[in-house]
């Protein structure tokens, strides 16, 4: 096809699935050349004098549709000085040109719910009728131009190539006014031979990129649909007889001890004469010792490829794994055989490792491995899809710090430097082809079944393999994601298998057979069973019944908003069965980007925030366990804990007062003598003694029993004891520093506990007054007013300080602001009776009685349509202490109860929080494995968790006691009762629950599972109020996380409406409070119900 730059001829390219490139160089391994021998690190590869970076400022023109694009801008004579400047790489929508669009599975330009163009027709109202068609009336075009100077010396006797790291979604290239070529496929490099076009002196590089092409039908990934040049652009040169490509297969022998090296080097002679070239290689270990090398002379035929092959055995090689990423330095040198002059030098780090599947298990270096993975996107909230090396390294560091050893590149390959960093620091990579045609779905319309699209599918798969074939970190190829199954994926599987001589496994998540879609009988074109979002029960089923292939879900634990519940439950199952070899959390990072509102406040934007009636899936792109800036979400702490590779299991107490602990080594290669172990004895939250203890060099996948003495601890009455175990690195381990905590556990020591009632006498005398509306109780230290109409405390004053005012005493509460998972499982609709019960409760009766120096106020609430009653008894003592006893009767509604609790307010000055319970981070009943029971301190303002769409947050479980103090250390203490099996659930915030809810009322019908009517759509809508709101609960439902569209939390983390529920707590006012006082008060009040 010949290029002619007219208004209409572009559609022969951008609407034609058969045209995926023109004049583009075949894909090759990632490398650049050097003119001489040196020791250049991979991070400095582009410092080669044979590389000219084109990153930086380009002239830029943006138009809304193709007919408006400039046609002759690429000609050097055309003046573009009046154009805007844009940085490269960048996404032009993020830079202010056009509109960022976020949708999940449908095509943003062909969304049946909100098409951006009337030109797109649909079959059955859902499927684009003409796949490959893109809008003509709205398809923005970016035209780029850059002027550079090139010296004649740089061009002399060289072949010159233009490298465009990634352009979305397709574009044309000119150099000095001459048409060079076309490329689509936006997540792999496009390289063009521009030797005949560049000249000494001034050169003009021009690109014209289209937002949507037919290739966009294969790029329907769940991320921002944005455009531009997303990775670096540069020119590079090589000798006229050049190393075109090379492939390294560095595996292990059958004993997994010695290394087998096979090296293939391709030469291309661009000259008209034959040339004898001496090719040599040298392999050195990490100490610089030469371990292999060879040379040979080959005749390079004019305008042809010539191949040199080398092989060697490296004895007792140091193998590569994620735990020990040993690398070797490979140097390839070409010389002119006649003169001995160096033509070019290539350096590359390689690793020896062997990946195979044997007896249904995934093995690395002969060892069964477990992939503790996350899915990850290219995302920076400042720049969109453009990631710096610093941010890549930050991600890798955080993965290693949090026990994540594997990433699935969802759903496209990354830039070259990313793989080098994974090689260096040890991350297992599932490299995924840039294929997702979710908008065509999986039936008869899927592009997987259309042979006219086979070329486009295969090109994306094979180009990925060619680019990344030499990276030891890449252990699995993935053919794509959510693109149906059919002839194109059968062909893709076979083609990758034929091409990759290292025999990596190939996976694809959509390989269900059409007849029954069972996980036990997946189709032949996947080596691993990689489903999406199995529940813990499905893991259990697959483990119990075994599988013929490894079971490693490509996506699980959907982490949207306040999520990642029952994560420990997954891994309790995974660790029981060999064929369950991990999984990949969806996903690593929230994908919101920064936007500034009309007041100048920056906030994280998501779908729909850019207007223009664009299709949107709202905040469904925020599924990370870190926020967009990589600050941790509470879920990350849970992931780190659950992904630990050292387990500690209690085995009872010895006669010598030693705690027997089974130490399990779940590492695949590391021995436990890499770590220092300590045990810390904790009593009532106070750290009493730290005991170092020895763990032998426990081998991978084995266990040893150790004994930890605690006989030096003299048990005290009414004290709860725990032992906190920690494993920290003895020395630096790659990117992890000496002293890094790799694993920890908290175990109770019930053998030391003895509880007895020890309440002291109350010295004050209480008096009471009562009328039709109010009960007044008072003594010399407190005054309490009780509103009989509202059924709550309206004022509570202790030692002259008001702890409760404005009628904001404890009130029954059965609702929480819906999380993203709650919206997905329709809690806001199915469980609405419990919000109505909270809002519309009626006081049936208030009764007061006095006796034994105490005054008891009993309140009965009728809970609207639930048919239940909530009974509260306030037992008030003369010293101002109040015991609150609650009972919720069984309900007539089938909907589980979102929470059983009470909420109240205190003045804002009581903003110093201390608590003894699970912390320090936010935790819920199904996400608290990482939250140890200790004493924690915080300002109330620090309790807020800024989820991008505001929702339930800041909760703590297992609360024994909590205090709210002012600056003078006066305040209120909340203490659990011994009758509460799970103690208390608790939160303290400067906001109301309603601030995080979709609506303050009970009508959610307009939301349809999204936050369309939420007046608090973003964190900028959340403001601190002049109050402290407390939630004091029996519990609330878990946050869930199997998925975010229909699954409720697991049944054991729901509150059964068919049962009655009781719980109680103490309100204890104090002056001059400190930790010692709080512990003493807890010891006095907590055991009062001990029988």
Q: Tens of pLDDT along 522-534?
A: 899 999 999 999 9
Closest by Cα among 843, 831, 996 to 899: 831
CB 283 within 8 A of CB 292: yes
Give the pLDDT band of residue 1089 (cuts 50, 70, 90).
low
Which H helix or E strand runs over 152?
Answer: helix 152-155
Q: What is the mean pLDDT of residues 964-992?
A: 97
State the pLDDT at residue 693. 95
Sheet containing strand 259-269, strands side by side = 241-252, 259-269, 305-314
Q: Which two tokens stand for residue 787?
A: 């509103």
Q: With 70 as the cut, is the pLDDT of residue 65 above it?
A: yes
**CA–CA–CA angle 964, 965, 971 (5° rounding):** 85
- Give the DSSP H or E segment for 777: strand 774-778
pLDDT of residue 40: 63
Q: Decide if 498 contacts 462 (C-beta within 8 A).
A: no
First to last CA, the chain: 90
CB-CB contact of 900 with 888 (8 Å): yes
Report the C-alpha gap between 383 and 89 in whole angstroms: 9
Residue among 17, 247, 436, 555 flagged as catalytic: 555
Max mean pLDDT range (127-136, 563-572, 602-611):
563-572
pLDDT at 1013: 47
Give the chain's radius of gyration (CA, Å): 33
Is there a catalytic annotation at residue 555? Answer: yes
Instruction: For residue 489, give the nearest of 519, 434, 526, 515 by alpha carbon.
Output: 526
Kindly state the average pLDDT of the residues 613-637: 94
Catalytic residue among 21, 219, 436, 482: 482
Q: In what order do the strands lie in the sheet with 721-729?
A: 686-693, 675-683, 721-729, 741-748
Q: What is the pTM of this model?
A: 0.96
DSSP code of residue 452: G
In this predicted structure, the answer to whether residue 1088 has a pLDDT above a threshold of 70 is no
Angle at the Cα of 730 from the Cα atoms of 726 and 733, rounded to 5 degrees: 105
pLDDT of 919-956, one tens digit each? 999 999 999 999 999 999 999 999 999 999 999 999 99
Residue 953, CA distances (Å) to 563, 601, 645, 814, 1032 in order: 10, 22, 29, 16, 14
C-alpha 740/C-alpha 27 separation (Å) is 41
Residue whose entry in the numeric block shows the structure tokens 């300002």 = 939
Cβ contact 205:161 at 8 Å: no
Beta bridge partners of 312: 261
Give 126 or 983, the one with higher predicted confidence: 983
Taking the CB of residue 313, how many other CB atoms lie within 10 A of it?
11
Q: What is the distance between the alpha carbons of residues 671 and 204, in angstroms, rounded to a whole number? A: 58
465 in Cβ contact with 487 (< 8 Å): no
pLDDT tens-digit readout, 197-245: 999 999 999 999 999 999 999 999 999 999 999 999 999 999 999 999 9
Q: Assess whether 482 carries a catalytic annotation.
A: yes
Average pLDDT rounded to a whole number, residues 286-310: 94
For residues 25-38, give the mean pLDDT. 93
State both tokens at 106.
Answer: 């449908």
For the stretch 302-347, pLDDT in tens is 888 999 999 999 999 999 999 999 999 999 999 999 999 999 999 9
CA triple 1043-431-621, angle to 5 deg: 35
Confidence at 717, pLDDT banded by 50, 70, 90: confident
Average pLDDT rounded to a whole number, residues 600-620: 88
Say how far apart CA 975 and CA 882 lie, in whole Å: 10
Asked if the model's pLDDT at residue 73 lies above 90, the reply is yes
Closest CA to 904 of 812, 800, 815, 994: 812
At residue 764, the pLDDT reads 79
Q: Which residue has the tokens 């849970």?
A: 638
Cα dist. 1090→256, 718, 757 in Å?
A: 61, 11, 7
For residues 152 and 199, give the distance between their C-alpha atoms in angstroms, rounded to a whole number.
Answer: 8
Region 360-383: what's the mean pLDDT? 98
Identify each DSSP E strand in 190-285 by its residue range.
190-193, 201-210, 223-225, 228-229, 233-239, 241-252, 259-269, 275-284
Q: Which structure tokens are listed for 165? A: 């790291």
Q: What letter would DSSP give residue 832?
A: H
Residue 1016 has pLDDT above 80, yes or no: no
Please identify which residue in the block is written with the tokens 């079971």.
551
d(CA 368, CA 383): 39
Question: Within its chain, how far is the Cα of 340 from the centroid?
Answer: 53
Average pLDDT of the chain is 94
CB 330 within 8 A of CB 248: yes
Structure confidence at residue 16 as a pLDDT band (50, 70, 90): very high
Work out the pLDDT band at 45, boundaries 50, 70, 90.
low
Domains belonging to the chain, first-starting first, are: 11-239 (2.60.120.260), 241-350 (2.60.40.10), 367-589+624-641 (3.20.20.80), 645-752 (2.60.40.10), 770-1089 (2.70.98.10)
Question: How many C-beta atoms surround the C-beta of residue 673 within 10 A?
Answer: 12
Sheet holding 355-358, edge to edge: 355-358, 361-364, 367-368
Report residue 762's pLDDT band, with 50, 70 and 90 as the boundaries. confident
Q: Which pLDDT band holds residue 1009 (cuts at 50, 70, 90)?
A: very low
């Amino acid at each position: 096809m010949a290029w002619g730059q007219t208004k209409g001829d572009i559609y022969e390219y951008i609407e034609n699935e058969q045209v995926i490139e023109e004049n583009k160089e075949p894909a090759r391994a990632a490398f650049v050349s050097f003119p001489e021998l040196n020791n250049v690190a991979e991070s400095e590869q582009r410092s080669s004098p044979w590389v000219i970076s084109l990153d930086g400022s380009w002239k830029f023109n943006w138009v809304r549709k193709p007919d408006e694009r400039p046609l002759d801008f690429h000609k050097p004579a055309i003046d573009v000085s009046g154009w805007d400047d844009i940085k490269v790489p960048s996404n032009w929508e993020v830079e202010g040109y056009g509109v960022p669009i976020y949708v999940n599975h449908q095509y943003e330009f062909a969304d049946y719910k909100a098409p951006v163009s009337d030109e797109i027709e649909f079959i059955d109202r859902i499927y684009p009728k003409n796949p490959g068609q893109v809008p003509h009336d709205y398809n923005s075009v970016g035209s780029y131009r850059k002027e550079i100077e090139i010296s004649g010396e740089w061009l002399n006797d060289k072949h010159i190539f233009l490298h465009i790291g990634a352009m979305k979604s397709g574009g044309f290239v000119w150099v000095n006014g001459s048409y060079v070529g076309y490329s689509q496929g936006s997540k792999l490099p496009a390289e063009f031979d521009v030797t005949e076009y560049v000249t000494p002196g001034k050169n003009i590089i021009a690109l014209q990129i289209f937002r949507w092409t037919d290739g966009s039908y294969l790029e329907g990934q769940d991320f921002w649909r944005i455009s531009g040049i997303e990775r670096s652009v540069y020119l590079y040169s090589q000798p006229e007889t050049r190393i075109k490509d090379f492939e390294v297969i560095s595996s292990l022998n059958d004993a997994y001890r010695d290394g087998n090296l096979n090296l293939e080097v391709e030469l291309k002679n661009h000259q008209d004469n034959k040339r004898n070239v001496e090719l040599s290689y040298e392999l050195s270990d990490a100490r610089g010792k030469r371990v292999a090398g060879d040379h040979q002379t080959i005749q390079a035929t004019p305008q042809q490829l010539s191949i040199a092959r080398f092989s060697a055995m490296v004895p007792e090689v140091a193998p590569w794994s994620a735990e020990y990423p040993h690398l070797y330095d490979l140097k390839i040198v070409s010389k002119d055989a006649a003169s001995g002059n160096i033509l070019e030098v290539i350096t590359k780090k390689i690793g020896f490792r062997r990946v195979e599947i044997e007896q249904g298990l995934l093995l690395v270096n002969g060892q069964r491995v477990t992939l503790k993975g996350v899915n990850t996107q290219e995302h920076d909230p400042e720049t969109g899809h453009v990631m710096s090396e610093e941010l890549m390294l930050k991600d890798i560091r955080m993965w290693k710090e949090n026990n994540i050893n594997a990433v699935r590149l969802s759903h496209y390959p990354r830039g070259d430097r990313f793989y080098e960093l994974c090689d260096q620091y040890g991350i297992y990579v599932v490299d995924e082809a840039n294929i997702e045609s979710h908008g065509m779905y999986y039936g008869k319309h899927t592009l997987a079944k259309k042979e006219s699209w086979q070329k486009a599918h295969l090109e994306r798969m094979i180009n990925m393999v060619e680019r990344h074939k030499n990276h030891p970190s890449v252990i699995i190829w993935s053919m794509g994601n959510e693109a149906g199954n059919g002839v194109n994926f059968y062909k893709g599987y076979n083609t990758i298998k034929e091409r990759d001589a290292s025999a990596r496994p190939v996976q694809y998540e959509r390989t269900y057979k059409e007849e029954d879609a069972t996980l036990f009988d997946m189709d032949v074109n996947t080596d691993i069973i990689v489903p999406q979002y199995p529940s813990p029960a499905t893991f259990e089923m697959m483990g119990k019944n075994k599988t013929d292939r490894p079971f490693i879900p490509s996506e699980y634990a959907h982490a949207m908003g306040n999520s990642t519940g029952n994560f420990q439950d997954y891994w309790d199952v995974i660790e029981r069965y060999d064929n369950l070899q991990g999984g990949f959390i969806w996903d690593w990072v929230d994908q919101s980007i920064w936007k500034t509102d009309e007041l100048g406040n920056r906030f994280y934007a998501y779908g729909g925030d850019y207007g223009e009636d664009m299709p949107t899936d709202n905040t469904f792109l925020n599924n990370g366990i870190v926020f967009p800036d990589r600050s941790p979400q509470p879920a990350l702490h849970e992931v780190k804990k659950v992904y630990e590779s050292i387990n500690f299991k209690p085995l009872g107490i010895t006669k010598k007062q030693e705690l027997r602990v089974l130490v399990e080594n779940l590492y695949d290669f590391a021995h436990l003598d890499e770590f220092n172990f300590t045990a810390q004895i904790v009593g009532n939250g106070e750290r009493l003694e730290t005991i170092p203890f020895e763990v032998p060099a426990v081998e991978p996948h084995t266990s040893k029993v150790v004994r930890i003495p605690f006989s030096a601890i003299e048990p005290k009455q009414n004290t709860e004891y725990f032992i906190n175990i920690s494993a920290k690195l003895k020395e630096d381990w790659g990117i992890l520093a000496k002293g890094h905590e790799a694993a920890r556990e908290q175990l109770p020591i019930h053998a030391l506990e003895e509880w007895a009632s020890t309440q002291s006498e109350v010295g004050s005398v209480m008096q009471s007054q009562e009328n039709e509306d109010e009960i007044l109780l008072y003594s010399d230290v407190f005054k309490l007013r009780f509103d009989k109409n509202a059924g709550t405390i309206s004022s509570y004053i202790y030692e002259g300080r008001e702890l409760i005012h404005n009628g904001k005493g404890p009130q029954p509460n059965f609702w929480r602001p819906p999380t993203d998972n709650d919206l997905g499982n329709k809690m806001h609709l199915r469980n609405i009776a419990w919000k109505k019960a909270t809002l519309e409760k009626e006081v049936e009766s208030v009764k007061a009685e006095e006796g034994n120096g105490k005054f008891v106020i009993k309140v009965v609430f009728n809970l609207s349509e639930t048919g239940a009653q909530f009974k509260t008894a306030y037992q008030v003592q003369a010293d101002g202490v109040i015991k609150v006893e609650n009972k919720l009767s069984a309900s007539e509604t089938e909907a589980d109860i979102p929470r059983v609790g009470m909420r109240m307010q205190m003045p804002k000055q009581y903003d110093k929080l201390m608590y003894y319970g699970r912390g320090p981070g936010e935790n819920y009943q199904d996400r608290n494995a990482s939250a140890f029971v200790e004493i924690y301190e915080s300002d109330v303002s620090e309790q807020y968790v800024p989820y991008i769409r505001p929702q339930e947050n800041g909760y703590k479980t297992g609360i024994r006691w909590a205090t709210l103090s002012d600056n003078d250390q006066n305040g209120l203490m909340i203490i659990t009762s011994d009758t509460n099996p799970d103690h208390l659930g608790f939160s303290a915030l400067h906001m109301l629950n309603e601030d995080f809810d979709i609506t303050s009322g009970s009508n959610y019908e307009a939301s349809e599972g999204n936050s369309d009517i939420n007046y608090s759509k973003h964190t900028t809508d959340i403001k601190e109020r002049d109050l402290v709101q407390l939630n004091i609960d029996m519990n609330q439902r878990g946050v869930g996380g199997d998925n975010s569209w229909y699954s409720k939390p697991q049944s054991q983390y729901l509150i059964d409406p068919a049962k009655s529920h009781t719980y109680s707590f103490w309100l204890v006012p104090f002056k001059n409070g400190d930790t010692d006082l709080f512990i003493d008060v807890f010891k006095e009040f907590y055991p009062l119900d001990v029988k």
